[in-house]
Structure 1
Amino acid sequence: MKLFFTSLYIGLLSVLGLLFSCTSPDTSTSFFPEYALYLLNEDGSNTFVLLDSLQRTGESVEIEVPSKEFTREYIQKKGAFYHFKEKNDYFIRYQLDSNHQMIATDSILFKDGYLENYLWKNDTDTLLLFTVEKKTTAHARMYVVDTKNFTLIREEALPLPSSVADFNLLSIGVVDFVDDKLWVAYCYSKFLTADDYTTSDTMYYATLDFSSLAVLNLQKDTRSSYPGGVNTVQSYSARDDQGDFYFMSCPGVALGNSLSKPTAIFRRKAGSQQVDTSYMLDVSKTILNHAYGFWYVGGQKAIIRSEQHELYTDFSNHHSVFQFEYYLVDLATKKLEKINIPLDKGTRKENVLVQGDYVYFGIDNESNKHEIWRYTPAHGKTENVFSASSTADYILRLDFLK
């Protein structure tokens, strides 16, 4: 639910700028970055570290972010960065120039809304964006953008109910597209006080015809609450090698805030419009904690990021406590194996990158070091392969630029 986190999640909702100044422009003819590491620094500034490799021997360029124009929530594909600037409702495209400066190259005006989720349609240049109206936080819209020509080719309201009983805050947590059908997992929340809220005990799954947006199927699920989350901040779903679609619910204090419900992983089998009610991987039952973030590794394995409720006081210090552990999840056997890397901090981060046989983690550890760790799921080996600036506070994102 974007409204809640816009106002309260100040620990990590840092800001980027419209123009980035490169600290090492002389490398423009020889340096070709493949990775972007996005940092929040101790002084409140932000830095992109562009890397040609995730090894210590690689070259890097730092880009300072001088102004405070947009948040860390962006979409990246093939070296282009896309951001919905909620302050004025412009969807903006940024690109790196030959001197590794990030330049705003084009924009599209959207209607008033919070960006909740995005999806690349069939892995093409067509980008689907889903927003919830700011004024009521109860009505959703879909935008379809041709990113190659950067044009808006479709805009339409989603036929989702605006509320259920007194739960009137709509959250679009997971989206999927297959066989010309749009699948949306959503839920409803409500404010309890000015700075506290909770989520209802039901998750909703709607299958819509993409052309007409007619609802073809609606399913309710009370096994958990708050499916997924804002995926410009963190990933919560993936399709496996067989085409089955997995997603995680996040009812913990940092997202759904419905603590009696378990964090769990669910499955929608390939070719089905409905979530498989015979499958549920109860994460909380196994590790006795809630978790956030889901990254598919391959071979029926995934990574999740778990909090430790005994280490933080409440939501106010949730982001600053070194508490987060990472687990390898076997989706077939439902077994979880803790990964041997240092405890991490930062409530929600897109800091896990899967590449081939390796998984890379951006970790902010208790020694005040900000490092890239490499993990090999096949044999469980972990190693520290890169260290970022000592003036950093959080590694918020790790992106592959190609």
Structure 2
Amino acid sequence: MKLFFPSLYIGFLFALGLLFSCASPDASKSFLPEYALYLLNEDGSNSFFLKESLQDTGKSIEIEVPSKEFTREYIHKKGIFYHFKERNDYFIRYQLDANNQMIATDSILFKDGYLENYIWKNNTDTLLLFTVEKKTTAHGRMYVVDTKSFTLLREEALPFPSSIVNFNLLSIGVVDFVDDKLWIAYCYSKFLTADDYTTSDTMYYATLDFSSLDVLNLQKDTRSSYPGGVNTVQSYSARDDQGDFYFMSCPGVALGNNLAKPTAIFRKKKGMQEVDTSYMLDISETIHNHAYGFWYMGGQKAIIRSEQRNLYTDFSNHHSTFQFEYYLVDLSTKKLDKINIPLDKGTRKENVLVQGDYVYFAIDSEGEKHDIWRYTINDGQVDRISSISNSASYILRLDFLK
């Protein structure tokens, strides 16, 4: 469910254009960036900060984003970017050219909707996208796109009820694909006032036959609320080394807004259609706060990003308060250890990147600092390794381009 309240997106709903102009075209010809940081700048503009290395060594350039046609919500894979332009319902493919200008290369017209979630089918070029219609936010659809030829292979309505009792806003929060079956975690919300909403006390897990979209199994879970979230904005799930699937619920004020329910991590074991009801990692019970964002590191370890209720007033300053902490989570022992990096701001960001023996964090800390921090997995050492453009207000995303 994508709820477009101004207060929920302060500092974020600035757009990213389809055509970009490079600040230094001549220098870019010999520049081969490996990383892209997507910035919201102090003047309200957006830009990409492209780097050869996440350390201060190597070249970097900043690409201005002059247009306001494109939000920060995009899908990236191997240097190609995909975006669903909700204003006119076009799904667009674009990429950096030889001069590091971002150009649109193709588009597909979808039906009216908000993009809620996506998954790559078995790590192929086939992309599954899941939307909720704009008019009622009560009906979902699935689109299947061959990204190599950039053609629409299939589009079909999802077989979910439009409402549960008086909760009539559908949210498609987590998606998994195994053995030609779709597994979708979803929930329902409702408006309390024109600017406030809440989510029901039940999470739904549906297993669907991919060919027919017939529902093979439906499981209800009342241990938490609001599974996952819009994963073009932030990650909420991952598969571990053994093939078990983990996902996080987000009932905090920034997503589900059902504060009585705990933020928690759940597990669907390899080969199973149902969530393992014997497993629940209650994050809120341990840290006494809600959290958003889940990044798997390997070895049964993950990173989460938590708010601090005592530091922000309400949602009006939730995004601008330096409050966010990062925790190392052991999924097997359920132990949480805080990582020693400065407090971050920005309600939801895709700013954690796991690469080999390191985890990189793009952090916006007090004193107008916008830095890359490196966490060494083996020994827990933390280092600040580089700084980003002084014009930035938020680092919204960190992507590896290769």
TM-score, normalisation: structure 1: 0.99
The Cα offsets for residues 223-247 of structure 1, whole Å up to 9 and x where unpaired, read as 0000000000000000000000000
Partner of 1:135: 135
Secondary structure of the residue that 1:70 maps to in structure 2? coil
Is contact 1:264–1:284 with CA below 8 Å preserved after alignment? yes
Distance 1:10 1:344 in 2: 16
2:377 aligned with 1:377? yes
Is contact 2:209–2:216 with CA below 8 Å preserved after alignment? yes
Distance 1:7 1:319 in 2: 10
Partner of 1:77: 77
Is contact 2:117–2:173 with CA below 8 Å preserved after alignment? yes
Partner of 1:237: 237
The Cα offsets for residues 259-287 of structure 1, whole Å up to 9 and x where unpaired, read as 00000000000000000000000000000
Is contact 2:7–2:315 with CA below 8 Å preserved after alignment? no
Distance 1:103 1:12 in 2: 22
Partner of 2:54: 54
Is contact 2:225–2:258 with CA below 8 Å preserved after alignment? yes
Distance 1:173 1:348 in 2: 15
Is contact 1:251–1:261 with CA below 8 Å preserved after alignment? yes
Equivalent residues, number: 402
**Any runs of at least 4 consecutive aligned residues in structure 1 with deviations exceeding 6 A, and if so which?**
none
The Cα offsets for residues 122-158 of structure 1, whole Å up to 9 and x where unpaired, read as 1110000000000010000000000000000000001
Secondary structure of the residue that 2:227 maps to in structure 1? coil
Secondary structure of the residue that 2:316 maps to in structure 1? helix
Partner of 2:301: 301
How far did residue 66 of structure 1 move?
Answer: 0.5
How far did residue 47 of structure 1 move?
Answer: 1.0
Taking only aligned residues, the RMSD between alpha carbons, in angstroms, comes to 0.9
Distance 1:217 1:98 in 2: 49
Instruction: Mark the runs of 5 or more structure 1 residues left unpaired by the alignment.
Output: none
Is contact 2:8–2:254 with CA below 8 Å preserved after alignment? no
Is contact 1:8–1:195 with CA below 8 Å preserved after alignment? no
Is contact 2:7–2:316 with CA below 8 Å preserved after alignment? no
Distance 1:169 1:98 in 2: 44
Partner of 1:343: 343
2:11 aligned with 1:11? yes
Partner of 1:275: 275
Distance 1:68 1:6 in 2: 16
Partner of 1:212: 212
Listed as ranges, the matches of 1:120-159 within 5 Å are: 120-159=120-159
Q: Report the AA paired with residue 61 of structure 2.
A: V
TM-score, normalisation: structure 2: 0.99
Secondary structure of the residue that 1:27 maps to in structure 2? helix
Is contact 2:49–2:389 with CA below 8 Å preserved after alignment? no
Secondary structure of the residue that 1:26 maps to in structure 2? helix
2:364 aligned with 1:364? yes
Distance 2:175 2:7 in 1: 25
How far did residue 390 of structure 1 move?
Answer: 1.3
How far did residue 11 of structure 1 move?
Answer: 2.1
Distance 2:147 2:345 in 1: 34
How far did residue 10 of structure 1 move?
Answer: 2.6
Listed as ranges, the matches of 1:253-268 within 5 Å are: 253-268=253-268
Is contact 2:15–2:68 with CA below 8 Å preserved after alignment? yes
Partner of 1:109: 109
How far did residue 84 of structure 1 move?
Answer: 0.1
Q: Quick check: 19-28 or 319-328, which moved more?
A: 19-28
How far did residue 31 of structure 1 move?
Answer: 1.3
Query: Residues 77 and 6 (structure 1 numbering): CA distance in 2 closer, same or farther, change over 3 Å?
Result: farther
Is contact 1:130–1:143 with CA below 8 Å preserved after alignment? yes
How far did residue 197 of structure 1 move?
Answer: 0.3
How far did residue 6 of structure 1 move?
Answer: 6.9
